[in-house]
Structure 1
Amino acid sequence: MSLTLLSAAEVKESITMNEAINAMERAFIQLAEKKAVMPVRTGVPGAKDGLTLTMPGYLAGEEILGLKVVSIFPQNILMNKAAIQGVVLLLNAETGEPAVLMDAQYLTALRTGAISGLATRYFAVDDARKVAIIGSGVQAQTQLEAVAAVRDIRHVSIWSRQRENAQLLAKKFADRFHCEVCTDIPHAVKDADVICTATSSTEPLITAKHLSEHVHINAIGSHTPAMSEISSEVLSSAHIVVDQIDAVMAEAGEIIQAVNQGAIKQTQLLELGTWLMTKNPDLRGKRTVFKSVGLAIQDLSVAQVVYSNAQRQGMGTSFQLS
């Protein structure tokens, strides 16, 4: 029995953002059709505020079986290492044999960007030109790449607590967009058609005062009940679409807090997969918030595209397990 190994570089070479966005759409429709098996992910606390998660899943519609093991160690940045590390393992859905093991660092950022790209494709105004990026890490980068894949973005405003990191992000995209590093969030989000938040904030960063009525917000940073990027005021003024209701009610701080405060009701939450089945109601041009905490089906659907493309291109190293 052999196992294919794919490096981070090979993963990155084996998939485009548009392919990832399309994979997200297929996966979430399967979730809505109840063709996905996805147990609750299990978290194991580690040293130095670290957390390790296991995320198994099965997409019956495409016969994709596997799991991701990912660790989040914020202190890694002090050692010039990525805060998010991990691997994805895909198995043969007929025999259960391990098929491919791949680096999950870029894949995680890619699929997180891709789900925001999918939401932006359907909820942002057609003529969206300005995007505000709140945060400056690798997740912020793929958020921008995904939004730019589905809209003709011209102007990018960036805010980060680490201004030097915001400047580096702006420099990276300076040849594609007019990039502006902002000293405060109100300036960054003013007149933005799309806002992407990718931070670990425990206090709401986005308030309603400076938002346009048609703005679409992708909120992907908070993933614990104690974290929050979007104010309850914003949520109460918007149509809220989520990756999965059970997941956000367990992990998305801003959603949990807004429900507990009575600012919104859980019944107002609309699951993305359910919406994709009918594409109704039409939310384009209305104020929308898409909240995602990340699901295993995202990793597996993107990993399958990576594996298929890598096989066609002759990439990967074969390792004999037995």
Structure 2
Amino acid sequence: MTKRSAMKTITLGEREIREAVTMSEAIDAVRRGFADLAGGAFEMPTRTALRDGQFLVMAAHHRPTASAMIKTLSVNFARRPAIAGTVTWTETGRPDHLVADAAPVTALRTGAAVGVATDLLAAPEAGRLTLIGAGAQAPDQVRAVHTVRPLSRLTVVDADPRRARDLVETLAPELAEVELCTADDPESAVRDAEIVCCATNATSPLFPESALPAQVHVNAIGAYRPTMRELPDELLAGSTVVVDELDAVLEESGEIIHALESGALTREALTELGTALTAASPEYGKRTVFKTVGVAVQDWALARLLAEKFLH
């Protein structure tokens, strides 16, 4: 009689995920994932979006490890948390698998991608961050940037000033040496920023290109549907633009689609993050933009990290 190993399923909630994974670990894992993506190690279809992005399904298979991740989630900005769903991890040849809460995984992996891009593209001494949007993704945006570029000042802007103040109070214990403030107007808040993070569900640009300093790095994570936009065409036209994955942004990023249609940007001007990681260092003294809609390799990287800690 053939013996079968008992299947083990590990289910992780937010507390277990947060206690197990540091932002530094998440950034390193996502960096390796993007490098593998550039090297052709992944089978990764463009995600399925249903009901105009209210339901999303993402999958990635990593050939070298015969491992796969599937994430299913619903998105509703009228509720808290806005994201609900699961991330499932499995490996060929192993009966064990892992199921994790998608909300903290998504926040961590989105922050981690911004950390990877900021580490690559922001000036080495950059320390003044303006964050636009104080929702669920915001804390990990700050943590990721602070991990790779220790902050001297954080300015938070939100349509609801109370949310901006609440976020600053929440992060204060983690940012003891950082000047913390809020602002009412995105345009004035970015004028002397060295790094800008946009994490909103805006449908039109948050600020004009002219409001930005000559040298700045901008991360845009909020717009993940063609109807959404955070950045103006003029900024994209005059910046080095790095994206998470070309096919994904061409299908889903309102900023990229609009800039291409207006002629402000060409496809040839877009560089994928995995490719940029192996290219020559960027020229500092210019504007740089990282546009991400979120791709499955990021979730795979976090899920693998969790699997290494809980299954192996």
Task: Percent identity, please.
Answer: 37
The alpha-carbon deviation at position 50 of structure 1 amounts to 7.0
The alpha-carbon deviation at position 60 of structure 1 amounts to 2.2
Contact 1:129 1:151 (8 Å CA) reproduced: yes
Structure 2 residue runs of 5 or longer lacking an equivalent are: 1-6
Q: Secondary structure at the match of 1:199?
A: coil
**What is aligned with 1:40?**
46
**What is aligned with 1:94?**
93
The alpha-carbon deviation at position 266 of structure 1 amounts to 1.2
Which of 47, 64, 72 is matched with 2:67 structurally?
A: 64
Cα distance change on mapping 1:213 and 1:54 into 2, 3 Å: same
> How far apart, in 1, do the equivalents of 2:136 and 2:77 lie?
13
**What is aligned with 2:55?**
52
The alpha-carbon deviation at position 286 of structure 1 amounts to 2.1
**What is aligned with 1:214?**
215
**What is aligned with 2:3?**
none
> How far apart, in 2, do the equivalents of 1:233 and 1:157 lie?
24
> How far apart, in 2, do the equivalents of 1:28 and 1:206 lie?
29
Instruction: Report Cα offsets for 1:149-180 as digits up to 9, x if no partner.
Output: 00120101111001110010111223412111
Q: Secondary structure at the match of 1:30?
A: helix
> How far apart, in 1, do the equivalents of 2:184 and 2:69 lie?
43
The code of the aligned residue for 1:66 comes to M
Greater shift in the superposed pair: 181-190 or 60-69: 60-69
| 1:226-241 correspondence runs (5 A) | 226-241=227-242
| 1:119-268 correspondence runs (5 A) | 119-175=117-173, 176=175, 177-268=178-269
Q: Secondary structure at the match of 1:213?
A: coil
Greater shift in the superposed pair: 54-63 or 164-173: 54-63
Q: Secondary structure at the match of 1:173?
A: helix
The alpha-carbon deviation at position 252 of structure 1 amounts to 0.4
Cα distance change on mapping 1:284 and 1:65 into 2, 3 Å: farther
Instruction: Report Cα offsets for 1:29-69 as digits up to 9, x if no partner.
Output: 11111110101211222xxx871111111122344312111
The code of the aligned residue for 1:295 comes to V
> How far apart, in 2, do the equivalents of 1:51 and 1:294 lie?
15
The code of the aligned residue for 2:18 comes to K
Contact 1:173 1:179 (8 Å CA) reproduced: no
Contact 1:64 1:301 (8 Å CA) reproduced: no
**What is aligned with 1:12?**
18
> How far apart, in 1, do the equivalents of 2:170 and 2:188 lie?
21
Instruction: Report Cα offsets for 1:80-101 as digits up to 9, x if no partner.
Output: x311011110112335x45111
> How far apart, in 1, do the equivalents of 2:167 and 2:126 lie?
21
Q: Secondary structure at the match of 1:275?
A: helix
> How big is the alpha-carbon RMSD for the aligned residues of Structure 1 and Structure 2?
1.5
The code of the aligned residue for 2:97 comes to A
> How far apart, in 2, do the equivalents of 1:63 and 1:14 lie?
23
> How far apart, in 1, do the equivalents of 2:31 and 2:294 lie?
14
Q: Secondary structure at the match of 1:82?
A: coil
The alpha-carbon deviation at position 71 of structure 1 amounts to 1.0
Which of 109, 112, 129 is matched with 2:110 structurally?
A: 112
The code of the aligned residue for 1:185 comes to P
**What is aligned with 1:315?**
none
**What is aligned with 1:319?**
none
**What is aligned with 2:4?**
none
> How far apart, in 1, do the equivalents of 2:172 and 2:37 lie?
38
> How far apart, in 2, do the equivalents of 1:310 and 1:53 lie?
26
Cα distance change on mapping 1:182 and 1:44 into 2, 3 Å: same
Contact 1:21 1:115 (8 Å CA) reproduced: yes
TM-score (norm 1): 0.90
